Each structure stands twice: as structure tokens, then as C-alpha cells.
Structure 1
Amino acid sequence: MSSSSRFTTRRRSLAAVGTAAALALTLAACGSSSDSSSSMPGMDHGAKSSASSSPSASQAMGDKPGMDHMATGNGLSDTQDGYRLTSKDATLPSGRQAAYRFTVTGPDGKAVTAFAVDQTRRMHFYAVRSDLTGFQHLHPTMAADGTWSAGLASLAPGSWRMFASFTPAAGAGKDKDFVLSRTVTVPGNATKTPLPAPVGSTHVDGYTVTVKGEPMAGMAHPLTVSIAKDGKPVTDLQPYLDTYAHLTAFHEGDAAFAHLHPTTKVTGDHGGPDLTFHAELPTCGNWRLFLQFQTGGTLHTAALTLHVG
């Protein structure tokens, strides 16, 4: 079995966790969603964003920044099954690089230091603006005591959610996938920008990225991503994290997390132009997709809005 196939099998368990709970609310919620007004696509290569934060679900409930105790399965909680994401960083500076330091503790209250390698990394870390116009995907480093450090590029003022995606290599949660998160505030004058309207394609670094598929909330559905350049199909995609493209999605309004699992087999440095993904988005509304792919040793990040009915 290829590394991409093994990853697909393991990761599907994570998507399934939130699906059952979400289905109970899907019919009521889907009728109340509204499309965002159109603007220039907001996308961040791990640098800056000019959009402000809209209130997150945790803020609406009165939580303080960095203290999130919400339903598990969508990444909007800092705790699940006895595992907890902890950090002393409730604020981060704006306009310059900064390190976000955090620890994962286990059911015994001790820092976890044994993590399984997943897509070539032991920890995947995401910083996402609450309005989904800022995005960074990093692979932090861990000290001997279990403290992780994520070197963030410049953050614009507003509210950001920090996601840690990992799989313990030992203990009660061994081989189980977790996505935990906490919020931080970046002080300053935040400028509000609406989420770009749903579209079928977007452009980045001279490439055209097209997404085909009409997923329904709470149901498994395939998505196809096609990549072209100068009107010609791209066939020189290089493996990135054991796949030809890494795709994550965040839900408008609460920034709920979903990972879309790649199903295309990796066969060297000639991937493309069509890539398939197993999509299981638990709730309706607009989702912001961030697709990362590599050509010629350069990583590209494309973003577009997908509406889920």
C-alpha cells in the first residue's frame, strides 16, 4: 500500500468523528446560510492579510481568547479524550514574525513527546484568520520537554485560531488522529473584508486551479482539482507531504476544520493535471479551501470558496 493510501485510511477516521453530530443539525442550519459578497480572492502564503475577524463561536459564548471548550470533531476545541492543547500565548504581535509556543498534554496531565509521523511530519500546525482570509500551514519543532514552537510569518490584526493536528504514538490515544485549537488576538486596527464569493476556479503564481464537485453536508463526496498553466494541463507536480496536493477547508463563521483526503497515487515528479480528494464536509454553508502544491521546488498556495448545500 502506498504512503498516500495509508494516510487516506487513517485520516478518514477523523472526518467521521464530527459527521454524526453534524448531521443532526444540518437540515436546520442549511436553510439559514447566505453567500458572502464578492471581493478579490483573499489568500495568504504565510505572510499578511488585510481582513478583520468576525466573531467566532467561542467569542459569542463569552470565552476569553485562547480558551476554547467547544464540541470535538471539528477542531474547535482545545481538548478531546483527555488530550489538551495548552499555551501561554493569548496574544501575538502584529506586523512581524512571531513564535507561537504550545504543548499537548495527555490524559495523565503530562506533556506528550511521542508522536507518529503523518504525511512526513509529526505535527501539522495551521494559523487561520477568523474571517478565513489569512492562512499559514507550518511544521513546528518540538523541544525535549514537549514544547512545540511554530515560527509564524507576519500576522495582521484580528482574531486568529491556531490548530494543531497530530497522532500520538503511545498512550491512550495511540494511532488516533486529533485536531485541537486555541484562539489568539493580534492587537491593532483590523480592516474588514468579506469572504470572496464561491467560485469554481482561482489563480496563483501563474497557475489556474479548478475545483469540480458539489458536496452535500454530512455526506462523502469526491472532489476533483485540476491544475493548468498558460492554458495547458500541468503534469510536473512534485510530491508534497507524500501527496501531489494538500487540501484543507475551514467553515465560514466558526472556522471549523476539515481535511480533504487525497486519493491520487503518487508516482514521482510528474503529477497532474487532475487530482481527486475524498470530501466529507459536515455542515452546509461556505467553506474556504486552501490547496498547496509544489512545482520546481516551489510551494504554491491557492484559495477559493466552495458552497456546500
Structure 2
Amino acid sequence: MITSSRFTARRRGLAAACAAAALALTLAACGSPGNSSSMPGMDHGAASSVSSSPSASPAMGDMPGMDMASGNGLSDTQGGYRLTSKDATLPSGKQTAYRFTITGPDSKPVTDFALDQTKRMHFYAIRSDLTGFQHIHPTPAADGTWSADLASLAAGSWRMFASFTPDAGSGKGKDFVLSRTLTVPGNATKTPLPAATTTTEVDGYTITVEGEPMAGMAHPLTVSVSKDGKPVTDLQPYLDTYAHLTAFHEGDAAFAHLHPTTKVTGDHGGPDLSFHAELPTSGNWRLFLQFRTGGTLHTAALTLRVG
């Protein structure tokens, strides 16, 4: 009986130690809010209009997050598919169109694309200093040429991303993100990237991000939305989700897309949205969160530090 009692005591002690260790790991993974920034926005404080139409990007299997099949989006070619365009420059200071084609392994224009969160093509434009973010949905022509109607572009170097899923051929069902760079002539002034923060504001809404993602590792990320100090609970569905989250890496503008795992249940989303974050490279990432309330699309931006 004495031996049995000592064994039971040891086992209970071991179980308690394991539980304490597990709790410590959980608390460490949750992260905590940090500093707030007075410089949010797509142009790091300058005005820039983002498309008011819905947009999104693919998930990885049944675990939403960055689409690993798409890589970092910094190439115009992947798996035999190529993004081609005759537009090497575009004018500054006015609305303009960027025309491009996706060709397949047979070098012919691809015209059959699957719906991805209600759209067949998602297009992003970002300047090299991560300002001027635009997320729009281009229009296809019968010959496979797409036309992306861009808002005014500031002078400088830009990268244009196309996110799509072929619905036929060798790439059927696979997610791709391809990109090309172009130049907008003029006197380009680089805007410094705002410091990393966990809070930003847009259109009267306060966005708070909790979580400390590590490079190359899947990690939970929580985004909370409030207004006038009160939790927001009227987020409307936006492309079959409550928010769209895109990230670009400082220095090379590598692309990553994340979206919430929160179930959509009508026009009363929020205040908390859960994301699976998997950012492949350490350093600063500029995050652009898009969400809809009252029929209006809002876009908030903040810098997130990834260890």
C-alpha cells in the first residue's frame, strides 16, 4: 500500500508539471499587444484609394493561411504558367489600366479559371516602399487578356501580382501567385516604413493584432475590431469571409495571403477574427486588412515584426 501511494503521488506530481509546462507554452504563443502607431494607412500616412470591390486569395488545404503552392509571388513563372505583359511603364497621377495575360505550359493564353472566393482573378499592386496598395479584380477578354483598372499611381517602382487557380490543364486546382515589376516615371520619393505596432486606425475603427508569428511556422493570429472603445459586431461577409488579410515583406515585397478561420454567420461578424499566420521570412511585413461594414469596404495597414 505504501509503495502504491508513493507511485500515485509521483504520477500526480508529473501530471501537474506537464500541465504547467503546457500552460506556459500556450501563454507564450498567444503574444501580447504592443505599441500603437499614429501612421497607419496604405501610403504610410498619405492618401491612396483602394478598390471598393471584394477580393481574396487561396488557402492551403483545410488550414487557411499562406498558400505555400504559390511561393512568395516574386516570379512571373511557376509550374509552366507565366504572367506576361507589354506594360513596362505606366503614367503617374491618373487612373490607368494594366493589361496582362496568363499563359500555360503550352504557351497559349489561359482562359479557364476557377472561382476563388467568388472571383476568377485577384490582382494586387504595391510600390517598392510598400505604399499605394491596391487590391482589385481585373476584367477578362475572350482572348485571355486581363485588364486591371488601377487608381492613380505615384512615381516609382511597382510590383503587380496576379493570384489565380486554373480550372483546366496541368495546373487545374492549383493556386498560383505570379508578379512582374514596372516603372511609373517621375520624381520618386521613398516613404519610410512605419515602425512595427499592434494597433492602427482607419475610418474611425481601431484594429488590434495579437500574436507573435515566427518565420516559417504556422502560428495563430487574432485581429480585433472596435469603434469608439466598443467591440464591433456588425462586420459583413466579404468574399465568403469577414476580412481579407494580405502581407508584403519589407525589402523584396514578397507576397503572403492569410484569411480568418472564423465561421461566417450573417452580418454580425466580429469583434475577434482568428487567422493562421505562416510568413516564410523574418523581418517587417506590411499588413493590409480589408473588412466591410454598412456596405463600405475599409482598408487598414500596419507593420508586423516577424521573428
Q: Same fold (TM over 0.5)?
A: yes
Question: Deviation per CA, 1:84-122, whole angstroms, max 9, x where unpaired?
Answer: 000000000000000000000000000000000001100
Please say if 1:173 is aligned against 2:171. Answer: yes
Match of 2:42 in 1: 43
Is the contact made by 1:42 and 1:196 (CA closer than 8 Å) also made in structure 2? no
Q: Aligned partners of 1:132, 1:192: CA distance in 2, in Å?
A: 10
Match of 1:197 in 2: 195
Give the number of the structure whose alpha-carbon radius of gyration is greater: 2
Match of 1:308 in 2: 306
The alignment-based identity, stated in percent, is 86
* AA aligned opposite 1:85: L
* AA aligned opposite 2:234: D
Is the contact made by 2:74 and 2:178 (CA closer than 8 Å) also made in structure 1? yes
Give 2:229's match in structure 1, choosing from 228, 231, 251: 231
Q: CA deviation at 1:42?
A: 4.2
Q: CA deviation at 1:47?
A: 3.1
Match of 2:78 in 1: 80
Q: Aligned partners of 1:289, 1:239: CA distance in 2, in Å?
A: 20
Please say if 1:215 is aligned against 2:213. Answer: yes
1:117-132 matched pairs, under 5 angstroms:
117-132=115-130
Query: SS in structure 2 opposite 1:262?
Result: coil
Q: Aligned partners of 1:163, 1:262: CA distance in 2, in Å?
A: 21
Q: Aligned partners of 2:48, 2:103: CA distance in 1, in Å?
A: 27
Match of 1:252 in 2: 250
Give the alignment's Cα RMSD to 1 decimal. Answer: 1.4
* AA aligned opposite 2:90: L
Q: CA deviation at 1:41?
A: 2.8
Give the TM-score of the pair, scaled to structure 2: 0.79
Q: CA deviation at 1:73?
A: 1.2
Is the contact made by 1:47 and 1:155 (CA closer than 8 Å) also made in structure 2? no
Give 2:99's match in structure 1, choosing from 93, 98, 101: 101
Match of 1:59 in 2: none
* AA aligned opposite 2:192: P
Is the contact made by 1:142 and 1:148 (CA closer than 8 Å) also made in structure 2? yes
Query: SS in structure 1 opposite 2:111?
Result: coil
* AA aligned opposite 2:217: M
Match of 2:109 in 1: 111
Q: CA deviation at 1:46?
A: 5.3
Give 1:262's match in structure 2, choosing from 260, 263, 281: 260
Match of 2:239 in 1: 241
Q: Aligned partners of 1:98, 1:261: CA distance in 2, in Å?
A: 29
Q: Aligned partners of 2:84, 2:264: CA distance in 1, in Å?
A: 36
Large movers: runs of 4+ above 2 Å: 38-42, 44-48
Q: Aligned partners of 1:192, 1:42: CA distance in 2, in Å?
A: 15
Give 1:138's match in structure 2, choosing from 129, 136, 139: 136
Is the contact made by 2:124 and 2:162 (CA closer than 8 Å) also made in structure 1? yes
Q: Residue 225 and residue 39 in structure 1: after superposition, are their counterparts in 2 closer, same or farther (change >3 A)?
A: closer
* AA aligned opposite 1:110: K
Give the TM-score of the pair, scaled to structure 1: 0.79
* AA aligned opposite 2:97: A
